[in-house]
Each structure stands twice: as C-alpha cells, then as structure tokens.
Chains A and B, each alone.
Chain A
C-alpha cells in the first residue's frame, strides 16, 4: 500500500478481491444448503444398484423414472398424500374462518384485554406440541376422534391458528385508518368495515394461508400420535420407507421429492403474487 500509486485503483483492486472472497464464501454456504436436495434428486432418478454403488455415482448412471412410477402406484403413498391434502386444506380453511375475525378484532376493534387475548393465541405456537397432543389423544379415545379427519383438523389448529392470527393482525393494522373512518361516516357497520379490510388484505391472507399450509403439510408429531391407519399423512409415509429391513432408497427419494412439491408450488405462487402486489403498490404510490 504505497501512497505513490493511484489510490482509486488500489481501492478498486482491493474491493474486487473482497468481492471475490464474499462470492466464494457464499458459494460454499450455498453448496451446503443445496447438496442434500441435489443428492436426493439424483437418487430419485437412480436404479437400485446405482444407489448403493461404491464409490457413489454422481453423474455416470442411466437415469430412470421407475422410482416415481412405482411410488405413484403405491397405495401406501397415494392414500397418505390424499389424506394430507384433505387435512391440510381443511385446517387452513377452518383457521381462516375463525382466525380472520379474531385477528381483525385484535387489530382494529375495542377489544377488552386485547394483549392478553393476543398472547394466549400466540402462546399455542410456543407450547411443545405433545403437551397438548398427548392429553388430546386420551380425550379422543373417548370421543372416538383418533384416526379421523375431523380430529386431525381440530388438532392442526395448534399449528395454523396462531400463525394466521399473528400474521393477519399485522396486515389488518397496516390498512390506513382513514378508510375505516370513511366507511363509518358513510354509515357502514363493523361488518362492512371487516369485509372491506379483508378484501384489501387479500395478499396478506394468501401469504398467511400459504405459510399455514406449509407448516401443516410438514407437521409430524401431531399426526404421529393422532392419525391412524386410515388417516396416515405424508410425513409418516415417507419415513415408512425406512422402516423395512431393506430400505427402499429409490422410492423413498422419489416420495420425498413428491412430498415437497406442493410447498414449492405454493411458495412460487406466493412469491409471484407478492412481487405483483409490490409493483402494483409502487405504480399507485
């Protein structure tokens, strides 16, 4: 670092070197983040003996769709997939139905003990699942709700409901108060205000619903205890491939990928919508 050379060029050169170091570090972390996903994708296209080959095969194998084909014909996989879809969509719908009014009341209405109500709702999210689920299991035995969709949908509210209320509270709070005042001046009732506010936060509702969907879809401990043979969900099903003495590696890999797909699709949808919303806001603003 001699002062004789051009200082601007030194800075540039050092900045570039730093930039390269940052790039390398990020590339390394990205490898760590993507390697497991990449490996299971590779595995899902491999034949049985390519999977257990030593040294492991990275690219030198003939890809096959057999694993996907056989998983998609497997009743042990299809039924759980359908069950998960029913339970997850049902739970999100119920959560929205009871969560939207609750969130609106917390955000915008003269609610007695507002923060206590809000805290008691969100505290569900922080409780260890089994603390509620194990007693629920005993209760369900008498109510005969174990191994039913209804029982699962009720239990899944532990996952969905706090999330919906918490997120929607913030979204409702963001709506300008002036709009509601205008509705009140026009003689609108609280019901009208609620409907207008809800229509204005559709993007927020979509975002909360997608997040609730993903969390329910990924849920494991709840169905492990409360689901039975007829209501087995996807997380249990893909782990089922590991239980047998000889693990069905290929089917497990294919099943895992299929199990992730809905979350991926919904997230892509969400990101698209969010970008749309932001650009629309920018144009209007």
Chain B
C-alpha cells in the first residue's frame, strides 16, 4: 500500500476512505448475496430438504460426486449442459461472424439490415420461446412450409434429439444478434488500409479471412465465445418455459435439474450441489473473460 501524504490537518476522510464509503452500499449488497450463497454451498454437502429443515445431515460430498458419476441424473444433466453450451457457442459464433462480415459490405443498404437483424435482441427470451413454440407446433406454420416444399412435418419438441436442437435453434435466434453486434464492432476496429492493401495485392476472400479477419478479430471472437459460453451453460428460461427439461431429460441441463430438485421436490441438497458445479464452470469462464478484458486494457 502506498502511504498517503499527511496534510497538516490530517483529515479523517482521506480519498480511500471516501472511496470505500462510495462502494459501501454495493459491498453490503454483496454481503447480502454472500450469505445465501455460503448457505447454498453448505447445503450442497448435505441432504437438506425443505420439508425437514431441522434434520440436516452432511453426507461427505455425495451430492457433488454424483454430478461426475456416469449413470446418475446429475451426470446426464451435466452432459446436456456441456453439449448445449458447445453447440450454441459454435453455431452462434460462426453465424454471427458470417452475418457481421456480410453487414460490413460497403453499401448503404446494409444499414437497414443492421437494424432489422438486431431486432430479436429486444424480445424477452420468454416471448421468443412462445413465438417459436407457436410456429413449431405440429400443425404450425413451419411444418406447413416444410410440407409445401416437399419435406415431411417434423415433431419439433416430441423426440429427444429434435427437442434439444429446437432449444438450440431458439437460443441461436435470441442471442446471435448480440454476437453480430460485437463482431461488427470488431470488424470496424480493423484499419481500412490493411483491407485495402490486401485488395491491391489481389488476395481472395478466403485469404483475407484467414490472414486478416480471423487473426485481427481474435480478441472479439474470444470475448463473444466466453460470454455466450457462460450464458448458455446457465440457460434456464427458454428450456423451462418450453420443454421443462423433457422429453426423457434430453433438454434437462444442470440449471433446470436444480430448479426441479429444489422447487418441485424440495431436495435442496442435490439441487445446490448441481448449482455449485454449474457455478464453478461459469466462474472459471468469467475469470477468463475478465482477464482478456484486463489484457486489452493494459495494451
């Protein structure tokens, strides 16, 4: 710590003390959050149920172990969580990058598209889920159009595989606009001279993509992938409001599993253990995210 030069009057309210006063309400809020949080961590090592709160017994981390033990419902939820996050991040990063490149085309009309393409961002995830459910019902407009061009109708939420990909589709619809926005900002940060020089040198689009766009966009790609990674790991809204984790657990990730165990069965021990592991995953990614931000700030 650096020492603060002593004024002759030596005021009590030094700048650091004032600064602490400024963040104090926020810190109190943090403490308010920390208490339930620590409580949750404690419960995750116990068989706490809300029906018998007095009979709390610690079970040596059996709930935590269950998350990593193949065959348990917890492990199935962990698998769904990871599969969902990887699918969403891969699809949305690629799609968002591609659309941003298209929007970067030097023409006036791209401005109109920029506004239109962002629209889904304004729709609450719950409303988006309703919209897609309405379109994807058995006798819905999507199946009608598919049949009109010669495909069979699809049972979108009926089979485990299709339900999973339907949720990925909804998530992609909701969150790709965010990816597009960040990617556009990234593309605009690339100096025009570099792109122009590559044109003069006669580089094709693929060469430009591999040599200029992807390397120069790397910080933005990492940022977006981490952001979307965290949010899709803890995806809850679109799943609980459409499939509630079914059919046969195909869309039941850790977050949904924890809600079901906690609120429906009052098994707070198992619920909190699943959330604890989920939190560790999210926390790891958010540390990575913030260190990239700090690295950029240091540059």
Interface residues of A (CB under 8 A from B): 19, 22-23, 25-27, 29-30, 32-37, 39-40, 43, 52, 54-56, 97-99, 101-102, 104-106, 109-112, 115, 117, 119-124, 126-132, 134-136, 138-139, 154, 157-158, 161, 165, 190, 194, 214, 217-218, 220-221, 224-225, 235, 238-239, 242, 249, 252-253, 256, 259-260, 263-264, 267
Contacts and interface: CB of A to CB of B under 8 A. Distances in A.
A25 to B, nearest CB: 6
A131 B278 contact: yes
B195 interface: no
**Is the contact region of chain B dominated by helix, strand, or loop, or is it mixed?**
helix
B150 interface: no
Contacts of B133: 242
Nearest to A173: B297
A126 B128 contact: no
Contacts of A115: 294
Q: Which of B29, B107, B173, B268 has the most CB of A within 10 A?
A: B29
Interface of B: 1, 15-16, 18-20, 22-23, 25-27, 29-30, 32-33, 35-37, 39-40, 43, 50, 53, 99, 102-103, 105, 107, 109-110, 113, 116-117, 119-120, 122-128, 130-135, 139-141, 144, 173, 177, 230, 233-234, 236-237, 240-241, 254-255, 258-259, 262-263, 268, 271-272, 275-276, 278-279, 282-283, 285-286, 289-290, 294
A138 B50 contact: yes
A109 B18 contact: yes
B113 A30 contact: yes
Given A110-B16, A130-B259, 4 more contacts: A56-B141, A117-B27, A127-B37, A165-B26
B16 A111 contact: yes
A131 B272 CA distance: 7
A34 B39 CA distance: 44
Contacts of B30: 120-121, 124
A134 B40 contact: yes
A215 B25 CA distance: 22
A37 B20 contact: no
A252 B134 CA distance: 10
B285 A126 contact: yes
Contacts of B275: 128, 130-131, 134
**Is the contact region of chain A dominated by helix, strand, or loop, or is it mixed?**
helix
Contact of A119 (B1, B37, B233, B290): B290
A109 B19 contact: yes
Contacts of B130: 40, 238-239, 242, 252, 256
A46 B119 CA distance: 23
B99 A26 contact: yes
B36 A217 contact: no
Contacts of B39: 135, 138-139
A127 B127 contact: no
Contacts of A25: 102
Contacts of B234: 128-129
A35 B279 CA distance: 35
B127 A238 contact: yes
A120 B37 CA distance: 13
Nearest to B233: A128
B99 A256 contact: no
Given A33-B116, A101-B22, A109-B19, A217 B124 contact: yes
B202 to A, nearest CB: 12
A33 B173 contact: yes
Given A123-B286, A161-B26, A259-B127, A239 B241 contact: yes
Contacts of A154: 32
